[in-house]
Structure 1
Amino acid sequence: MNSVAALEKILYIEDEPDIRLVAEIALRQVGQLDVVTCASGEEGLAVIHEVMPQLIILDVMMPGMDGPQILSKLRAMPEFMLTPVIFITAKVQPDEVEQFKQLGAVDVITKPFNPMTLAQDVRAIWATCHE
């Protein structure tokens, strides 16, 4: 069995301050992950080269640039073409999840998420990307 590189660095783009804070605590304190949070797609794209995340979590619905638009911009950057992206959304009808995966997301996490299991859910998705 090949070893999976440890997931350490995550970029999370979320416009809701409360959700961003809960996710940051869930990933950093509970999950011991290095997470950088941004309030908008523009902000995330501005810092992505400094952060160099191994995995990116995108809120689907945001003002300005939404998750799918950010994903298409990421896929146009050679260094992030293959970076796993997880969408996080309250919209989780099976056809919507399938649509997000067709856009290139590796998985979808449902809001509201459980802060106590968010990091392990993210790690499980990370592991499936490296099977």
Structure 2
Amino acid sequence: MNQEDNPTRDHYTTLEVAGLLGMAVRSVQLMVDREELEAWKTPGGHRRISRASVERWIASRRPASAQGDRNFGDAPRPHTQHGGTRLLLIEDSTHFQNLVSMLVRQHFPSVELRVADDGIAGLAIYGQFQPDILIVDILLPGIDGPTLITSLRSHPQFARSQLIVITSLDESQRAPYAFALKGVRVIHKPRLVAELPGLLSQLLPESAPAQKTSL
């Protein structure tokens, strides 16, 4: 059997890592250049990336709540019949991380929530977590938010997820990003408390919101 077809080999191609992490090939190449991933070149000039370094990178970028719950390379967990909905939030503000988490716990206690504080970590978690709903801020550190959103909408890997964009930008400030936001559900952050539970209820018709209490 060709070594490149061996699932137990200790390295990946750049394209394989891009697929695993849900990134562009160029992004993976930049990670190698920054020495975030260990790589070498074959005699033919093809780049090979250490599997162990990819595993370490993913483990280091997961939220603490996700550490140790799965091994890299495991198949995605099947949904349970009760309370199996998954939601991933990619948001760099601790305040809004806490606010969204509180709203989800309060109104949809059976939903499993993961949080990432930057786009690259969020994409890595996405590949492992396979969420039903993805909530993402359009302005994130270390990644072009509009390009990320455009990629999410067009990449087959993300087709299974419902996308919600949250932003501190008002309607006029969002104008430069209209190309990325066309047809996307957008919530202005000052309206999160008022609008997010209702929108999630529409996307999760099988999940009746809990009785609303004072925040």
Shorter-chain TM-score tier? 0.7 to 0.9
Could you tell me how far apart the structure 1 residues matched to 2:173 and 2:90 are?
Answer: 23
* Relative contact order higher in (CA < 8 Å, ≥ 6 apart): 1
More deviation, 76-85/21-30: 76-85
Within 5 A, what are the aligned runs for 1:6-45?
A: 8-32=85-109, 33-45=111-123
Of 152, 157, 160, 1:74 maps to 152
Query: Structure 1 length as normaliser, TM-score?
Result: 0.73
- Cα displacement (A) at 1:116: 6.7
Over 3 Å counting, the alpha-carbon distance change for 1:95 and 1:77 in structure 2 is: same
How many corresponding residue pairs?
Answer: 120
Give the Å deviation of 1:120. 2.5
Gaps of 5+ in 1: 1-5
Deviation at 1:108, TM superposition (A): 0.4
Contact 2:138 2:149 in 1 (8 A): no
Confirm or deny: 8 A CA contact 1:31 1:120 kept in the other structure: no
- Rounded Cα–Cα distance in structure 1 between residues aligned with 2:102 and 2:170: 24
Structure 2: unaligned runs, 5 residues or longer:
1-82, 206-215
CA contact (8 A) 2:187 2:195 kept: no
Aligned letter for 2:89?
Y
Identity %: 26
Largest Rg, 1 or 2: 2
**Pairwise CA RMSD:** 3.0
Structure 1 stretches of 4+ with a deviation exceeding 4 A read none
Question: Is 1:65 paired with 2:65?
Answer: no
Cα distance 1:21–1:87, how it changes in 2: closer, same or farther (>3 A)? same
Taking structure 1 as reference, are residues 113 and 95 closer, same or farther at Cα in structure 2, changes over 3 Å only? closer
